[in-house]
Chains A and B, each alone.
Chain A
Amino acid sequence: MVLVLALGDLHMPHRGSDLPLKFKSMLVPGKIQHIICTGNLCIKEVHDYLKTVCPDLHIAQGEYDEETRFPETKTLTIGQFKLGVCHGHQVIPWGDLDSLAMLQRQLDVDILVTGHTHQFTAYKHEAGVVINPGSATGSYSSITYDVNPSFVLMDIDGLRVVVYVYELIDGEVKVDKIDFKKTTDIKPLTH
């Protein structure tokens, strides 16, 4: 059982001052093995904070990230899954599933994590799963109205991944989960 935290679009301090307290108390160091961040932190303090939650931190560059040169896209393998992360402002139209599917094929990953829309979504389609963890601070977005703070926790176990989404609605943390199963193992490289 491997726990992977996916979050992003915190926009601190441009659009919000801090993560919701209820989220902070849940993100205890030592419980999570990897963090995948879609970007738009935007300052170093946020980066340092995420590092304390888990040192294995993978971040993609958001358009408001200052003074950093995170990669535009990043891929990594966790267990039987290949994951990819990209902020998402590069994929037009923004939030469009089919265009994101193209990126997924291009990165050749099972799970693609993107952000930018501040709206949690999790879609399964031909190539695999596309997840948007939303905005962890619930910050303003030109694309989505009424943004609730949200983040995603993935539990990767063999060929199965359970995606837990945590949303702060009217002061209460609501959890939902979605199951995905891979049909085949990762193919070994043939050449």
Chain B
Amino acid sequence: MMISNGIEDEEKWLAEGMAGIQHNAFYLHRALDSNNLREALKYSALLLSELRTSRLSPHKYYELYMRAFDELRRLEMFFKDENRHGCSVVDLYELVQHAGNILPRLYLLCTVGSVYIKSKEAPAKDVLKDLVEMCRGVQHPIRGLFLRSYLAQISRDELPDIASEYESEGDTFMDAVEFVLQNFAEMNKLWVRMQHQGPLREREKLDKERNELRDLVGKNLHVLSQIEGVDLEIYRDTVLPRVLEQVVNCKDELAQYYLMDCIIQVFPDEYHLQTLETLLGACPQLQSAVDIKTVLSRLMERLSNYAASSPEVLPEFLQVEAFTKLSNAIGKVIEAQVDMPIVGAITLYVSLLTFTLHVHPDRLDYVDQVLGECVKKLSGKAKLQDSRVTKQVVALLSAPLEKYNDIVTALTLSNYPRVMDHLDAATNKVMAMVIIQSIMKNNTCVSTSDKVEVLFELIKGLIKDIEGTSTDELDEEDFKEEQNSVARLMHMLYNDDPEEMLKIINTVWKHIMAGGPKRLPFTVPPLVFSTLKLVRRLQVQDGDVAGEEVPATPKKIFQILNQIIEALSVVPSPELALRLYLQCAEAANDCDLEPVAYEFFTQAFVLYEEEVADSKAQVTAIHLIIGTLQRMNVFGIENRDTLTHKATGYSAKLLKKPDQCRAVYACSHLFWVDDQDGIKDGERVLLCLKRSLRIANAAQQMVNVTRGSSGPVTLFVEILNKYLYFFEKGSPQITGAAIQGLIELIKTEMQSDSTTSNPASDAFFASTLRYIRFQKQKGGVMGEKYDPIKL
């Protein structure tokens, strides 16, 4: 209620002020039109009196000021033309000082002063000096600021600068500098004084009002930067020290923050680079509440952009030791502001790191140094809990990754893992994922075991349970995503040299073996397949290096593989382990290592016997065993017999009869391999087929024919197809008569009343008959073969 009343009142007062100006402006114009100096002075003084109000906020005062400003422009033109008023400028300067109240008096004086300087009847510097000191008469902050702002504005074009018309002997740009510096200092004092004007509870309102006025003060710095005579030397020796003196001594945090930032934005980057020490030296002297880190960040940002846009200045950066100075300054600021929270310090280091990566990307020692400073700051404290801090640390660690696009470079920074150590477990994992994503995105290959070691240390939060955490707490989806990322990562660890590759594999294994039962099912398969690829590479490489003891031989690698797959027993993952053992068996077969292949088969069978209990899983598993075994050519007769016997035995012991039937006829292929050296034992093939036929018969006799789409008739048709297969291969034991018999059997079964018709079986049988017809029509050897079979 109070506030809205206040606003309403302000509107009213502003309106009153504007009306007052309007009123007096009317008479002023009349006076000007009739060249009446006295009247003009009278009414302009009255007009300017409206600016004596203390009831308006800066925002509203500004409107009033602008209205008056317009009128003063007209007045100035009048003053300039002596013919119109007949008064010399010197006399005019005297005359206006008779105005009653000080504020109108000074506005008028400044206006005449501008004309005075333009007339060149006195040195600019004398007039300016006089004015800037006279303005001291107004100590009210808002009124004083606007008055001095007016002074600055109208004197702008009349400063004695190099090559300006106002320059002369004894009236140089240094005088201009002096004038602006003085005006600036006074304006800053007024501005700071506003702080103490209101009661503490209105602090927020005060700060807002102060902020509205800040550009009036800052404009002076802008003017300084525009004075041509101000070169690097003058800036360094005069301007900067004086400005900084003001900034530091005013001890006002709002002013300090704004002005530091203003200096940085207004003056050229080249100057900042050369005055870095002075500029940075002021920072620790500022009030502790000043957001110095933002100031420093903006400075570093400007310097980074400067370096980026003009690469030729880079040597200058090195010459002035910019990095060292900034690093030291940051250190001092952190030391001086004891209460600075950690997040502030880390944010500063993030800015410094960004600067370093932009300006000195090749100086990894600098990058490492920054990280080292962070480690120092973080050490001795407990693991970080504050999310703002961890966010900054993650930004710190991500910056080198983004810059170098190459994790390998980041891995050489000795302090990088040390910083990561300070993260709590959850953030460590977040960072680890960032690292992995960087590798995947850039398709980086990590090619030595040393680098792999460092990498896995960095991402250890994903690889195993670090103290204080357990996998139970994790969200399942997140966990899977993590582990799948680790799995993907493993394919990026590679070296062409087999010895080094083996070292990499051993390093990875060393790390992931501690992962625990939840992680192993994700991490073991990719490691196994990377290893199998290595085996194949060695196998394809011809010739052993004569006599040398080479660590990387297939045999030794298979030993490692055995260990790795065995670890799955703690999960337990028997089905996965079985598959991996079979993969290894095949690889051992290709390397001609019979005992090794046999051992892997043994492991697979043991798992099948003892661990695979689910009947569906057993069906798949036995087919995988049969399929793999069928391709083995390394086994001697004894070994082969043992394994095929086992396979067939287990096939017949599957739970469901149809599954038994199918597995057993699959086993028939174990006795017939098409290679020239391959086994071709027609008798045992026939034994298998007959056995599967018996099982099919038994299945048919069982109750509940309507269960599922594979009725027993389908089984017969499948078996028939197998007969045809071996018949075509030329197995003498598979006769046309046997086939004929089977065809008749099926026909009988299908026509029988007790069988419900099954369209799938019908179609299958039809297409089989169609195939036989096709083969008969082929003619030649095949046609002859099929001739005895009648449909």
Contact = CB atoms under 8 A, between A and B. Distances in A.
Interface residues of B, number: 48
Contacts of B540: 145
A133 B117 CA distance: 91
B488 A93 contact: no
Contacts of B440: 17-18
Interface stretch (B409-417, B562-570, B622-630): B622-630
Chain B contact residues, majority secondary structure: helix
Contacts of A77: none
B525 A142 contact: no
B156 interface: no
B579 A142 contact: no
A145 B537 CA distance: 10
Contacts of B764: 105-106, 108
A90 interface: yes
B725 A98 contact: yes
B669 A140 contact: no
B620 interface: yes
Contact of A140 (B533, B722, B774): B533
A94 B632 CA distance: 12
B728 interface: yes
Given A63-B579, A92-B669, A105-B721, A14 B526 contact: yes
A89 B620 CA distance: 8
Given A13-B487, A16-B491, A17-B488, A105 B767 contact: yes
B725 A105 contact: no
A127 interface: yes
- Using C-beta atoms within 8 Å of the partner chain, give the interface range for chain A: 20 to 34
Contacts of B759: 189, 191
A18 B768 contact: no
Nearest to A17: B488
Contacts of A126: 770-771, 774-775
A143 B525 CA distance: 17
Contact of B488 (A18, A90, A98): A18
B488 A99 contact: no
Given A13-B487, A45-B484, A64-B579, A142 B587 contact: yes
Nearest to A75: B760
Contacts of B587: 142
B532 interface: yes
Contact of A17 (B491, B631, B774): B491
Contact of A93 (B579, B627, B770): B627
Contact of B583 (A12, A102, A142): A142
B626 A140 contact: no
A17 B623 contact: no
B406 interface: no
Contacts, number: 98
Interface in B617-651: 620, 623-624, 626-628, 630-631
B318 to A, nearest CB: 40
Interface string A157-173: 00000000000000000
Most chain A CB within 10 A, of B489, B491, B714, B717, is at: B491
B112 interface: no
Nearest to A128: B767
Nearest to B578: A63
Interface string B488-523: 110110000000000000000000000000000000
B529 interface: yes
A47 interface: no
B167 interface: no
A93 B763 CA distance: 24
A45 B170 CA distance: 81
Interface string A165-191: 000000000000000000000000101
A43 interface: yes
Nearest to A126: B774
Nearest to B489: A17
B50 interface: no
Interface in B768-790: 768, 770-771, 774-775
Contacts of B586: 142-143
A140 B714 CA distance: 35
B38 interface: no
Contacts of A108: 760, 763-764, 767
A15 interface: yes
B692 to A, nearest CB: 13
Contacts of B768: 105
Contacts of A17: 440, 488-489, 491-492
A135 to B, nearest CB: 12
Closest 9 CB pairs between A and B? A13-B487, A17-B488, A142-B586, A14-B525, A105-B767, A102-B721, A108-B763, A13-B488, A92-B666
14 contacts: A11-B529, A13-B487, A14-B487, A14-B529, A15-B526, A89-B623, A90-B620, A94-B627, A99-B669, A102-B725, A140-B532, A142-B532, A189-B759, A191-B759
Given A105-B721, A127-B767, 15 more contacts: A13-B491, A15-B491, A17-B440, A63-B579, A63-B620, A89-B620, A89-B624, A94-B630, A98-B725, A101-B771, A102-B722, A105-B771, A106-B721, A142-B587, A142-B628
Interface of B: 440, 480, 484, 487-489, 491-492, 525-526, 529, 532-533, 536, 540, 579, 583, 586-587, 590, 620, 623-624, 626-628, 630-631, 666, 669, 673, 714, 717-718, 721-722, 725, 728, 759-760, 763-764, 767-768, 770-771, 774-775
Interface of A: 11-18, 43, 45, 63-64, 89-90, 92-94, 98-99, 101-102, 105-106, 108, 126-127, 139-140, 142-143, 145, 189, 191
